Amino acid sequence: MKVTKEKLHQLMQDKIEAAGLPKDQAGIVSDVLTFADARGIHSHGAVRVEYYSERIAKGGITNNPDFSFRKTAPSCGIFEADNGAGHVAAKLAMDEAITMAKETGLAVVGVRNMSHSGALAYFVEMAAKEDLIGISVCQSDPMVVPFGGSEAYFGTNPIAFAAPSQDERMITFDMATTVQAWGKILHARSRNEAIPDNWAVDAEGNSTTDSTKVNALLPIAGPKGYGLMMMVDVLSGILLGLPFGKHVSSMYHDLSAGRELGQLHIVINPANFTDLDLFKANISQMLDELKEIKPSEGFTEVNYPGERGRQREENYEKNGIEIVDDIYDYLTGDAIHFDRYDHKNKFAE
C-alpha cells in the first residue's frame, strides 16, 4: 500500500493520540516516524506505532511528562524526560543544545529517563539545518555479545552525525554498532533463509547461519564495534547516572514500566573553530570530489553518507511511501493495539 507522507503522518498521529499521548507530542513522534519511513529506514517508522501505542496505553510512556532542562555548566545541560516519549524528549533536548551551541560554540546535553527515540538522524539533522555539527548517541537494551563473549551485554547502541554544506546537501549517517539489525534476521527467518555467518550467534555463543537459532547479534568489525558500543553506553548511560550494559531495561519485558534510557547530544558550532562559509564550502568540495571517484566493480557511483536516503525521500515524495498492508490496516482500523508486545523477550517473541 502506497500513501503520501502527509497521510501517513496523520494516520500515525491519530493512532498515537488515541493511545493517550497529547496532540502536540503525538505530532512530534509522528514527525520522526515519517522521517524514518521517507528515508527508507522502515524499521523505525510505521512498524513501531503499535508497539508505542501499547506502551502508551499501558502507562510505560508518561502521557503528560514533567519535562525539565537545567544547565550544569555554560556548555552542558541535563534534560529530564520523566519517561516521556523519547522522540519528544530528544527533540526538545536538541533544541536546547542548538541554542547553547550558538551562544557558547559547543553544547553537550544529556537526556535522562526517556523512552525509545527512533531514528537518531532526525535529531542531528536539526543541528545541521542550523549550520551546526550534530552528534547523538543512545543506549539500548542488551542483545549483542561483546567481542569474544557468548552472552549478550550491550545494545545495538547507535551513533549519528550530521554536518551542513554550502548547498542543500548534508552529510548524515546513523548507524547501529552491530553488523546487522535484528529486523534483517526476522526478514530472513520469515523467508526461511540463511544469514551470513558474521551477523549473529546461537545460544552457545557460536556463529550461526541459521536465522531461527539466533540468540544475540555481533558487533561491527569485531573489537572495534565492541569498543564503539561500549563508548556509547558510557556516554549515554554511566555518564548520566543511568543503568548500563546488561542492566538497561528491556524494550518488551514490561510495557507498564518506564524504560529510563539515556541519550547524549553533542553540538559544535563550526564558526567558533573556522570561517563558517569556508567550512561549508569544504564540505561541498569533499562531496563533489567523492562523486568524481571512479566506482568499483558492481557500483554505479560513490555515494556520500545520507545521499541514498534523500534519494529515497525524493522518490517517495513523487510516488508515495510503501507501507506493508497489515500495518496500513492497523493504522486505519479502530484497535489501539493488539496486546502483542508486553512481556516478550528481547526479540519481541
Number of CB atoms found within 10 A of residue 120's CB = 28
**Are 62 and 19 spatial neighbours (Cβ–Cβ below 8 Å)?**
no
**Are 232 and 158 spatial neighbours (Cβ–Cβ below 8 Å)?**
yes
> Which of 42, 44, 116, 337 is an active site residue?
116
Q: Tell me the torsion sign for CA atoms 155, 157, 21, 53.
A: negative
Pairwise CA distance, residues 268 & 280, whole Å: 14
Cα three-residue angle 175-234-134, rounded to 5 degrees:
45
**Are 211 and 189 spatial neighbours (Cβ–Cβ below 8 Å)?**
yes
- Expressed in percent and rounded to 5, the helix, strand and coil fractions of the chain are 40, 15, 40
CA 263 → CA 6, 139, 142, 236, distances in Å?
29, 7, 16, 5
Cα 265 to the center of its chain, rounded Å: 13
Pairwise CA distance, residues 185 & 218, whole Å: 12
Residue 253 annotated in active site: no
Which residue carries 493495539 as its cell? 337
Q: Tell me the torsion sign for CA atoms 200, 205, 209, 210.
A: negative
Residues with catalytic function: 116
